[in-house]
Amino acid sequence: MKRDLSVKEASDWIQGATPRLAAETVNLFDGLGQILAEGVVSPRDLPPSDCSAMDGFAVRASNLAGADSEQPVGLPVVFEVAAGGSAARPLADGESARIFTGAPVPAGADAVVRQEDTRSEGDTVWFSAPVVDGEHVRDAGEDMRAGEEVLSAGTRLGAAEIGVLASLGRSMVSVHRRPRVAILSGGDELVEVDGDVTGDRIVSSNSYSLVARCRELGAEPIYLGISKDDPQSVESQFRAALGADCIVSSAGVSVGDHDHVRPVLQKLGCELEFWGVKMKPGYPFAFGRFTAGGVVFGLPGNPVSAFVTFEEFVRPSLLKMMGAEQCFMPTLRARLGEPLTKKAGRLHFVRVRLVRDGQEWIATTTGNQSSGVMRSLVEADGLMIFPLEEEALQEGASVEVQVLRGHWFEGRQPPP
């Protein structure tokens, strides 16, 4: 077993050890959050033919060449085309047709004039301005062309992608299957969310945040409860997790007398590949693999450490399993809003808020950075990287921030 890897070494190791999961065919709606295992080609043009973008009148632009308010041009309205209908015959020179949004533009017509810009009088419609060829006409295939790859393999299915697939008539799609992630917690002090918290007992909050994070990512969490700090209890919990694509266990992986995870994993045939990553929070982190397949993450118990190691190592691994091409958190450059110091030898992930100042982002810490302060995660927009060997960062220094989310995305302003 290797010890004391840098964040980069640990991350590369894990990504290299993570398999992509096989493809499965799912119903369109069930694929929400999953990642396409196939490129999707449009079987037809969309729209299928030139169609109107407005309610109005289909014309030949050349017929309205000289129209103005002094000398409007009047054309007879010879037929009508509605969405889903079709023109009875081509439009002849000097004619117009009543047309509605989405209706196919009749042969012989090349533009549509909005109803609001015309005046009707019996069977004649009057135009007081010229129109350009193609005005208010949606060209056949302008959205998607027959034979064109519209969505590539590796695309995550959100609402827009599902809409596109539906428009192509794809009720079933091929996606990488969701990883089944066993979530385990352990510790004599831990209880379930509605458990008895008398004395020094605390709720196993990691269980809940890790299950939630798996769901957010589109993985399938399997919650296996809390084990006691004894080898039998830990072993039976891990036995229940065997066969999962990924096991995420929090706590018990340190070097304390009550940390039974490592020996139990070894007993069950899991090769522990490394332990300890030079980072803070999150140093006591372990990674292993079962020979039969399945990766194992031993996260530290402290809630912030568990969260940060999940984001750095588990999230990219799950995304790779799911077929994603971009597995790592987006980053941005920011100016540090306050001076910071630390000892060399560990990379610190500092929880920061991000505020816009002109062209720049300003990163300020969320306050107490103890790995037990869960509220620092609620308040954080990102994890600021305080590099391994650095000992001081000045106020105003340019820093890299991994973006967790943005309070600025939450839309406090109504749209303009």
For residue 100, give the nearest of 119, 82, 74 by alpha carbon. Answer: 82
Candidates 276, 282, 303, 382: give the one binding ligand AMP (CB under 6 A): 303
- Rounded distance between C-alpha atoms, residue 138 and residue 208, angstroms: 50
**CA distances (Å), origin 6, targets 12, 249, 278, 330, 404:** 10, 21, 5, 20, 21
Residue 334, helix vs strand vs coil: strand
For residue 189, give the nearest of 206, 212, 213 by alpha carbon. Answer: 206
Contact status: 204 vs ligand AMP (CB under 6 A): yes
| Residue window 86-125: x/- pattern of binding to ligand AMP, with contact defined by CB under 6 A | ----------------------------------------
Contact status: 284 vs Mg ion (CB under 5 A): no
Contact status: 298 vs ligand AMP (CB under 6 A): no
Contact status: 369 vs ligand AMP (CB under 6 A): no
For residue 243, give the nearest of 181, 178, 319, 322 by alpha carbon. Answer: 181
Q: Residue 63 or residue 254: which is nearer to ligand AMP going by CB?
A: 254
Least distance from Mg ion to the Cβ atom of residue 251, Å: 4
User: What's the one-letter identity of residue 368?
Assistant: N
DSSP state of 378: H
Candidates 52, 254, 317, 402: give the one binding ligand AMP (CB under 6 A): 254
- Rounded distance between C-alpha atoms, residue 138 and residue 47, angstroms: 8
298 binds, among ligand AMP, Mg ion, none (CB under 5 to 8 A by kind): none
Q: How many CA atoms lie within 13 A of 331 on its CB side?
A: 13
Identify which range of 22-30, 129-137, 203-211, 329-337 contacts ligand AMP by CB under 6 A. Answer: 203-211
**CA distances (Å), origin 4, targets 253, 268, 285, 316, 317:** 14, 24, 10, 20, 20
Contact status: 190 vs Mg ion (CB under 5 A): no
Tokens standing for residue 7? 């964040």
| Residues 157-186 close enough to bind ligand AMP by CB under 6 A | 185
Which secondary-structure segment (H or E) carries 51? strand 51-52
382 binds, among ligand AMP, Mg ion, none (CB under 5 to 8 A by kind): none
Contact status: 187 vs Mg ion (CB under 5 A): yes
207 binds, among Mg ion, ligand AMP, none (CB under 5 to 8 A by kind): ligand AMP
Q: Residue 186 or residue 316: which is nearer to ligand AMP going by CB?
A: 186
Contact status: 190 vs ligand AMP (CB under 6 A): yes
| Residue window 196-235: x/- pattern of binding to Mg ion, with contact defined by CB under 5 A | ----------------------------------------
Contact status: 302 vs ligand AMP (CB under 6 A): yes
The sign of the dihedral angle between the CA atoms of 103, 104, 105, 106 is negative
DSSP state of 105: P
Contacts with ligand AMP, residue ranges (CB under 6 A): 185, 187, 189-190, 202, 204-207, 250-252, 254, 256, 300-303
Contacts with Mg ion, residue ranges (CB under 5 A): 187, 251
